[in-house]
Structure 1
């Protein structure tokens, strides 16, 4: 499994719009391009977010990503409009895994 870790610095007062458009963009990447999913994390700096995306392999991650669904195209454009800068800070291969994805399945928490 391949992991890409991103750092996003967003424009002031754009956190809600960034998060909403990031979520729809991520759903599109999952549906159209074969990602395993992603998580977005806040930091102590309210303008910096860290994204963690899982892929089956690096080759799938590197493929061109031209959305078909117009909703995903719009979401990606909205997300990019919220971003001051972004970069891939790590490209990682999973060596050992004990991440539990269903821990909150019965509690309603997430």
Structure 2
């Protein structure tokens, strides 16, 4: 299993729209690109942190090209609500105790 941790710095006042689109985009990655799901968190400074799981690195690297046009448009809209998007970590899962 492969995990990617993102940080999204969302433009103030756009949080609700971002969260709605994040859910839609995540569901598209699950449905069309083999994503295993994601969790969205908000830290104490107001940044969103997302933890996404994939079967392997290749699935993550090729996921975007598997999305339908509407999902790509939603991804672009979601990204437009962000001042900055950073991949903090991408890594192989070695031991998984989440339930």
TM-score under structure 2 length normalisation: 0.91
1:9 maps to what in 2?
9
Contact 2:29-2:63 within 8 A present in 1 as well: no
**Structure 1: which 5+ residue stretches go unaligned?**
101-110
Alignment of 1:1-110 (within 5 A): 1-46=1-46, 48-63=47-62, 65-66=64-65, 67-68=67-68, 70=70, 72-100=71-99
Q: For residue 28 of structure 1, give the secondary structure of its aligned residue in structure 2.
A: helix
Which contiguous aligned blocks of 4+ residues in structure 1 show a shift greater than 3 angstroms? none
**Structure 2: which 5+ residue stretches go unaligned?**
none
What is the number of residues matched between the two proteins? 98
